[in-house]
Structure 1
Amino acid sequence: MKVLIAIDSFKGSVSSAEGSEAIASGIHAVYPDADIAQVPLADGGEGTTEALVLATGGRFVSAEVSGPLQEPVSATYGILGSGRTAVIEVAAACGLPLVPEARRDPLVTTTLGVGELILDAIGQGCREFVIGLGGSATNDAGIGMLHALGYRFYSERGELSSFGGQALADIRRIDASGAHPLLKECSFRIACDVNNPLYGPNGAAYVYGPQKGASQAVVEQLDRGLESFARTVLSELGLDIGSLEGAGAAGGLGAAFAGFLQGRLESGIGLVLDVVGMEEKLRGADIVITGEGKLDGQTSMGKAPLGVASLAKQHGIPVIALAGGVTKEASALNEVGVTSYFSIVGAPISLEQAMDPANARDNLRRTAEQLFRLIRAVK
């Protein structure tokens, strides 16, 4: 019996690695000699660094960088087993949790620390980057990050730009001559599962600004700044960042990566599955276990379990999906590769009890054991 376990984290409860260990324990109680491969997963958002580092035998690196308020923060990123690829979640350097609620203001928060992390990774020998967008406290179109990488932005009066979304409307000239020379050797793959443009009603400011602390007046100011900046980039560099799908991700970091750094915006789970070599790991598997905290309509639109199930279906491998909660919309997963799905919660309990890490691990172990008892009985 060869089993592949590839689950996302049960957010707020257990990590992908912890959940996988619990499931493996349950399987081994029934099949002591089972060949079990564990591949920690993420969908490009929170937990991507940990999942990819563990899946490739890489290492974690911590660096002190500028936080969203330009105060020092300790941020962790990963270097994959190859030693050439860095995995950076932008939230590690400019995430919303790094800003006290009373100080959240996308007019001033900056992505400077993201650029500093990239520089640190370049210094470690990395030339390939996997970037997880999401969870940022910023709306600066990436000018902070680009400043750290050597780009300079100037007003019509020739003054060096300040930081934050407030600076965008005044930028009239861009000097790329000081960009770090090794950037030409670097490639960027960007995990981005939103298609918001940079500005407009569906852009970065209107859709995400309020959750970052922006009032309606500030949202309108930020949107005007993003549109103005896009015009300047087009006239100065010939880059049309305004019309790119996904440009508005992470307060415009999508535009900065895709435009200035020639990054490729990709489906988060598709990127992760490619990096961990999931298709190769599936070969020879008799059954696949996937899952996440909740299986619902969102799962069937591109999250980790769907990505795993879709690949397994191509190889004719049955897939069991486990989750803390399951909604009726999850039935769509049966059409795209999930053979069957189950909730691991065996009795009516509170959400707090269900998410207790010890309970979640025990429920995963118990459910896996019972499922494989059934599999053994019918074989």
Structure 2
Amino acid sequence: MKLLLIPDKFKGSLTSEEVSKAFILGVAKAGVKFTSHYIRASDGGDGFMNAVAYYKPCVSVQVISENPLGKPIQSYYLYSHEANSAFIELANASGMELLTPKERNPMLTSTFGTGLQIKDAVQKGIKNVYIGLGGSATNDGGIGIAQALGYSFLDKNGKKLKATGASLSQIKSIDDADVLECLKLVKFFSINDVTNPLFGENGAAHIYAAQKGASKHMIDELDLGLINLNKVVTDTYNLENAKLPGSGAAGGVAYGLKTFLGANYFSGIDFVLELSGVNDLLSKERFDYLITGEGKIDEQTLNGKLIKGVVALGVRENIPVIAVCGKLSIEKEQLKKHGVFDVFEIQDSTKDLTYNMKHAAGLLTAKTTEYFKLLKK
């Protein structure tokens, strides 16, 4: 049996590599004869730079930036001399993991810190900038990044607004007189982890803001704010990017990158898989199963996350896809309709979340052993 492993991390518990190792150990304990190949991947969110650095020679560029609440932090991005390209991970300066649960509030957070990283890259003369989205603590429509690069967002009195989620509904005009001239010489690429539009019931706020600390009232306010941002942008620049698949990524950062920097959209998982050379691998080798997974599989998984991209790869190559997860919050049949061969969760339902996260590796190995013993019968 030949296995191709392309899992996501189990957030807060296991890295993708640890997921693979625990899975392989489980297969071995099942007494199955097998070989395996591991692909380090990312959907553009947390781990994007690790995946890039794994496949592409890069150096780390240190930058004094700001966290989502404006506090100074030491951050970094990757630079490829060969391609004169910067690879920036939004979560590195604007990520949810930089804040405590009590600090998380997308009305108050901003992507300004990521904008400072982009500013550093373009002022150094870097001509291609790839921004991996996902894991953000923000819902600012990308105005934080834009503000760091010279854009100003003004209220009805012409007063400059802070680039936060709360300011979106107050924007009446945009001043671009101080935008960096060098931006015109740079190509930007938004590496999106989801396919949601900017606003609406399937948009950035309604689908993702709750996990960033937003209440129901905040979610409604943020959605109205994104609608307002799009209206002002449309009136000012005659651009309509809100409904494009992916514009809702990272609280609307993808929309901001496209609107203010002319960024092209790429699927995060497709981008990293291309970088990994998996297509070349599949042209030479045949695998019996493609293994993927993440900490929680739910409705969001079908919005362009890593698993969706891996399943699409499996369908294209006619390789059955087995997904593993800590918790399954979607009907198996719905996943099978999208091309998943099978899925199993590893949690011990008699224990709490803390226990399951702490013992995830052992639980994954045990459930994998159990699954493959049944599979080989």
Q: Distance in 2 between matches of 1:39 and 1:157?
A: 53
Partner of 2:6: helix, strand, or coil? strand
Q: Distance in 2 between matches of 1:299 and 1:312?
A: 16
Query: Could you tell me which residue of structure 2 aligns to residue 37 of structure 1?
Result: 37
Q: Distance in 1 between matches of 2:221 and 2:329?
A: 40
Q: Matches of residues 19-34 of structure 1 in structure 2 within 5 Å? A: 19-25=19-25
Are 2:171 and 1:197 equivalent residues in the alignment? no
Partner of 2:50: helix, strand, or coil? helix
User: In terms of Rg, which structure is larger?
Assistant: 1
Query: Could you tell me which residue of structure 2 aligns to residue 258 of structure 1?
Result: 258
1:187 partner amino acid: F
Q: Distance in 1 between matches of 2:78 and 2:144?
A: 21
2:310 partner amino acid: V
2:118 partner amino acid: I
Per-residue deviation, 1:24: 3.8
Cα gap change, 1:63 to 1:22, in 2 (>3 Å):
farther
Instruction: After superposition, give the CA deviation of every residue in 1:200-239 in whole Å (9 maximum; x if it has no partner).
Output: 6766566666665667777676666545543443343332
Partner of 1:7: helix, strand, or coil? coil
Cα gap change, 1:297 to 1:138, in 2 (>3 Å):
closer
Cα gap change, 1:370 to 1:131, in 2 (>3 Å):
same
- Identity rate, percent: 33
Q: Matches of residues 282-321 of structure 1 in structure 2 within 5 Å? A: 282-283=282-283, 284-287=285-288, 288-295=290-297, 299=301, 302-321=304-323
Per-residue deviation, 1:16: 0.1
Cα gap change, 1:201 to 1:336, in 2 (>3 Å):
closer
Q: Distance in 1 between matches of 2:121 and 2:157?
A: 35
Partner of 1:285: helix, strand, or coil? coil
Partner of 2:234: helix, strand, or coil? helix
Q: Matches of residues 56-67 of structure 1 in structure 2 within 5 Å? A: 56=56, 61-67=61-67
Corresponding residue to 1:330 among 301, 311, 332: 332
Cα gap change, 1:365 to 1:56, in 2 (>3 Å):
farther
Partner of 2:64: helix, strand, or coil? strand
Q: Distance in 1 between matches of 2:295 and 2:220?
A: 36
CA contact (8 A) 2:65 2:75 kept: yes
Cα gap change, 1:227 to 1:5, in 2 (>3 Å):
closer
Per-residue deviation, 1:72: 0.3
CA contact (8 A) 1:30 1:372 kept: yes
Q: Distance in 2 between matches of 1:296 and 1:222?
A: 23
2:311 partner amino acid: A
Per-residue deviation, 1:166: 5.2
Per-residue deviation, 1:5: 1.4
Query: Could you tell me which residue of structure 1 aligns to residue 133 of structure 2?
Result: 132
Query: Could you tell me which residue of structure 1 aligns to residue 361 of structure 2?
Result: 361
Q: Distance in 2 between matches of 1:148 and 1:135?
A: 17
Instruction: After superposition, give the CA deviation of every residue in 1:306-339 in whole Å (9 maximum; x if it has no partner).
Output: 4323322332334433334456722444455444
Partner of 2:119: helix, strand, or coil? helix
Query: Could you tell me which residue of structure 2 aligns to residue 278 of structure 1?
Result: 278
Cα gap change, 1:183 to 1:351, in 2 (>3 Å):
same
Q: Matches of residues 1-379 of structure 1 in structure 2 within 5 Å? A: 2-25=2-25, 36-56=36-56, 61-78=61-78, 84-99=84-99, 106=106, 108-122=108-122, 123=124, 125=126, 127-139=128-140, 141-153=141-153, 160-165=160-165, 167-168=167-168, 169-176=170-177, 178-198=179-199, 226-242=226-242, 244=244, 246-283=246-283, 284-287=285-288, 288-295=290-297, 299=301, 302-326=304-328, 329-344=331-346, 349-356=351-358, 359-365=359-365
CA contact (8 A) 2:45 2:90 kept: no
Relative to the length of structure 1, the TM-score reads: 0.76
Q: Distance in 2 between matches of 1:95 and 1:183?
A: 27
Q: Which moved more, 1:188-197 or 1:344-353?
A: 344-353
Paired residues in the alignment total 373
Per-residue deviation, 1:157: 6.2
Query: Which runs of 5 or more structure 1 residues have no equivalent in the other structure?
Result: none
Per-residue deviation, 1:148: 1.7
Per-residue deviation, 1:303: 3.9
2:40 partner amino acid: P
Per-residue deviation, 1:181: 1.0
Q: Distance in 1 between matches of 2:211 and 2:257?
A: 23
Instruction: After superposition, give the CA deviation of every residue in 1:36-92 in whole Å (9 maximum; x if it has no partner).
Output: 321123333333333443355656555320222322023344457966454433233
Per-residue deviation, 1:155: 5.8
CA contact (8 A) 2:45 2:91 kept: no
CA contact (8 A) 1:53 1:79 kept: no
Per-residue deviation, 1:129: 0.3
1:321 partner amino acid: A
Q: Distance in 1 between matches of 2:222 and 2:305?
A: 30
CA contact (8 A) 2:153 2:171 kept: no
Q: Which moved more, 1:306-315 or 1:25-34?
A: 25-34
Q: Distance in 2 between matches of 1:11 and 1:154?
A: 38
Q: Distance in 2 between matches of 1:248 and 1:301?
A: 11
Cα gap change, 1:239 to 1:9, in 2 (>3 Å):
same
Per-residue deviation, 1:28: 6.4
Instruction: After superposition, give the CA deviation of every residue in 1:90-113 in whole Å (9 maximum; x if it has no partner).
Output: 233223444556665555532211
Partner of 2:17: helix, strand, or coil? helix
Q: Distance in 2 between matches of 1:335 and 1:246?
A: 22
